[in-house]
Amino acid sequence: MTGSTRSGTGLGRWTRALARWETVLLLALLGLIVLGNSLSPFFLTPGNFSNLVAALMEVAIMALPLTLVIILGEIDLSVESMAGLASAALGFMWAAGVPLQVAIPIVLVMGAVGGLLNGTLVARGGLPSLVVTLGTLALFRGMALIILGPRGVSNFPPAFTELGFGHVPGTVIPWPFVVFLALAVVLGIVLHKTWIGRQTYAIGRNAGTARYSGVRVARLRISLFVLSGTIAALAGVILTSRLSSARADAGQGMTITAVTVVLLGGANIFGGSGTIPGTVLAVLVVAVMQNALRLASVTVEVQSIALGLLLILSVLIPSIARQTRMAVDRVRRRRRQSADPIAGEPAI
Amino acid sequence: MAEAAVGARPARRNWLMAIGRQRELTLVAIMFVAGAGVSMIAPQFLSVSNFSQVAVLASITAVAAIGEAIVIITRGIDLSVEAMIGLVAYAVARSLELHALDPVAAVAMGLGIGLVLGMVNGFVVAVLKVPAIVATLGTLSIFRGIDYVIAGPHQVPLAGLPAGFSDVSIADVFGIPIFVLVTVVVVVVGMVLLRSTRFGRQVYAVGSNPEAAAILGIPSRLVVFVAFSLCGLLAGVAGVMWVMEFGTINGTAATGMTLAIVAAVVVGGVNTLGGSGTLAGAAIGALFLGFIANALILVGLSQFWLQAIYGVVILVAIGSDQIIRRNVQRANTRSGAR
């Protein structure tokens, strides 16, 4: 509050820009790149960039709509199972002779229906999204297991596996990264430049106020869960393509990484704040971190510990920063009050 | 007309409210009815050995679910419980295999590890003020990572355990399996703790209205810390039971258990928004899920259906809770208006 009165001064603007979470992420990213480069001469090669990005793209794609869901004040834990269900359904249909041009749209519609189930239970049923999506986390995975059982389907045509495995011709940019960037741009514009985005923030800050201000809260909640389900199914298709195999256990464990990425990107788990650029930067930070750890031959097990720590720290650091800022403000206010007791009076 | 309608409704509402209040009885009734159906297809369902097998397996989930229920009643959630069970199970099994500890000391160590892990969760949630879902999603990864690092690819075989250690899971007192007795003791102690002590009433107070609890001077952060610690301790008990039951333990033990544990709590009628629910409900919820798994196998359905059915059971349980709650609220507002 005291900051807004000083917004004109150059110094205030600079400290605020530095204090932005995205800046912190950018600095962390640069630091990790320097670190990675010192760990291995292969780090900054084009081939490694392609590896680094490809391994995380399904999670990254899921994290984008999840950002909107979390800003809304909800959560969708079922995304990893929806990806698994999409993979299983795609494999099942392909094995049954359904052409992929037909099967992929069906899978995406299935994702939308799954999201509709989540959204309806949360928005119309008034149930907590944490428990609803924990239920559908089990339900969707169970359906994937029922459809495909323990077998894998792997005789996909090269044109399809190219989608997950190939690069944009003449570059080292994998196709899934292109999908991710395109989706980030679209959702970034929707969230930051349109009424949909403004209403999303409004619901996340205070759903009751938003409703009394004429926001159709239930409709937007349902729409965002549908979006999350559809994109999770898309991530499942891409995962199937990248591994050139459809399995019922595809995507297991991805939810925790996706949630980590979104929270690391600066979104508040209670809703009301978060940005798409933040999530994109967080994806890059996690990708570079995992890659650097791998180059330093740190085992996958230790990486799991690092991810858990990162998740907790991504909430802890901003809250410590906020408390420090509040403490500093309080000291400043008190100092100003003692210097000019009359000017300080109305503030109380 | 209007009088008649108002007069007719409360009977229905009372009936609904009665069910809402007696979730434990509802579950037992469903089990009886469904059990009759299953026994017609598979007569072996009704055998004593089958019953005790179901109850023994469900005991492990039940003990962990009781800890989870305490946390959920305070408005928290602990997603790391499966990793705590897994880590305790491996640590206990490995120390027994290496003859580093005698069985009693190993069990004590298991409970101690569980308690410490629970305290870590409690510290992160109550002291560092990280939201429970984020904190325990993080520690789920961390505890499991530690388990993997300690275990590596090693697997403790059943033969690595001292003779008689895993017999505890099949031992009984007067025909009642020891695991079931352990669960009953945990339920009774837990319910006395929650109903008849200051701490217990504070648990419900913090869960039903944190602001009011704070105004009343209840140390809510301490209450939350203790709730998570108890959850860890009971996960430790479940981890020790896991070793006795399965014998063969590697770094992936108990993976996926959190879902069954939270499902048991939710099915048992504990409000996921905190503030209400009983520990007996959570234990019966665990028995209910074990019963479903058993019935599924006996009826000849594939194991693959289990996950999907767990999902449906969770959704039905929270959905019916919500319908009952809305009816009760409507009845209350109407009777309040008159």
pLDDT at B336: 60
Contact B263 A138 (CB under 8 A): yes
pLDDT of A15-69, one tens digit each?
665 567 888 889 889 998 888 888 878 787 877 777 778 888 999 999 999 999 9
Instruction: Find all residues with CB under 8 Å of A323, minimum gap 6, and list them.
Output: none
Give the separation between CA B62 and CA A280, rounded to whole angstroms.
41
Mutate to test the interface with A, among B270, B304, B327, B328 (most CBs of A within 10 A): B304
Give the separation between CA B265 and CA B283, rounded to whole angstroms.
8
**Domains along the sequence of chain B with CATH:** 45-323 (1.10.3470)
pLDDT at B7: 41
Average pLDDT value for chain A: 87
Percent of chain B with pLDDT over 70: 93
Average pLDDT value for chain B: 86
* Chain B residues lying within 8 Å of A139, measured CB to CB: 307-308, 310-312, 315
pLDDT at A5 exceeding the cut of 50: no
Q: What mean pLDDT comes out for the span B279-286?
A: 92
When mean pLDDT is compared across A64-78, B69-83, B267-281, the lowest value belongs to B267-281
Angle CA A207–A213–A216, to nearest 5: 65
When mean pLDDT is compared across A1-10, A30-39, B250-259, the lowest value belongs to A1-10
Question: For residue A167, what pLDDT band results from cuts at 50, 70 and 90?
Answer: confident
pLDDT of A289-310, one tens digit each?
888 888 877 887 788 898 899 8
pLDDT at A344: 46
pLDDT at B289 exceeding the cut of 80: yes
Nearest chain A residue to B274, by CA:
A128
pLDDT at A333: 83
Question: For residue B145, what pLDDT band results from cuts at 50, 70 and 90?
Answer: very high
Mutate to test the interface with B, among A75, A312, A320, A322 (most CBs of B within 10 A): A312
pLDDT of B99-137, one tens digit each?
888 889 999 999 999 999 999 999 999 999 899 989 999
Long-range CB contacts for residues B92-100, cutoff 8 Å, separation at least 24 = B92/B239, B92/B240, B92/B243, B93/B156, B93/B160, B93/B161, B93/B243, B93/B249, B94/B150, B94/B151, B94/B154, B94/B156, B94/B249, B96/B156, B96/B160, B96/B161, B96/B162, B96/B165, B96/B243, B97/B156, B97/B160, B97/B161
Nearest chain B residue to A147, by CA:
B304
| B-proximal residues of A, 113-142, CB under 8 Å | 121, 125-128, 130-132, 134-142
pLDDT at B37: 79
pLDDT of B312-325, one tens digit each?
988 988 888 888 87
* Chain B residues lying within 8 Å of A130, measured CB to CB: 77, 133, 272
Q: Say which DSSP state B158 is in.
A: G
pLDDT at B190: 94
pLDDT at B21 exceeding the cut of 90: no
Say yes or no: B252 contacts chain A, CB-CB below 8 A: no
When mean pLDDT is compared across B188-197, B217-226, B295-304, the lowest value belongs to B295-304
B153-181 b/e (C-beta count within 10 Å ≥ 16 → b): eeebeeebbeeebbebbeeeeeeebbbbe
When mean pLDDT is compared across A331-345, B192-206, B289-303, the lowest value belongs to A331-345
Question: For residue B279, what pLDDT band results from cuts at 50, 70 and 90?
Answer: very high
Q: What mean pLDDT comes out for the span A326-342?
A: 76
pLDDT of B196-227, one tens digit each?
999 999 999 999 988 889 888 899 999 999 99
pLDDT at B4: 42
pLDDT at A8 exceeding the cut of 50: no
Give the separation between CA A342 and CA B12, rounded to whole angstroms.
65
Say yes or no: B315 contacts chain A, CB-CB below 8 A: yes
pLDDT at B3: 40
* Chain B residues lying within 8 Å of A141, measured CB to CB: 307-308, 311
Name the minimum distance, in Å, from the CA of A77 to any CA of chain B: 11
Give the separation between CA B100 and CA B92, rounded to whole angstroms.
10
- Dihedral of CA B147/B150/B154/B159: which sign? negative
Is residue A51 a contact partner of residue A165, using CB atoms and an 8 Å limit? no
In this prediction the pTM is 0.86
Q: What mean pLDDT comes out for the span A173-183?
A: 91
Q: Which of B211, B191, B209 lies closest to B199 in space, CA to CA?
A: B191
pLDDT at A4: 40
Contact B137 A311 (CB under 8 A): yes
For chain B, the residue count is: 338
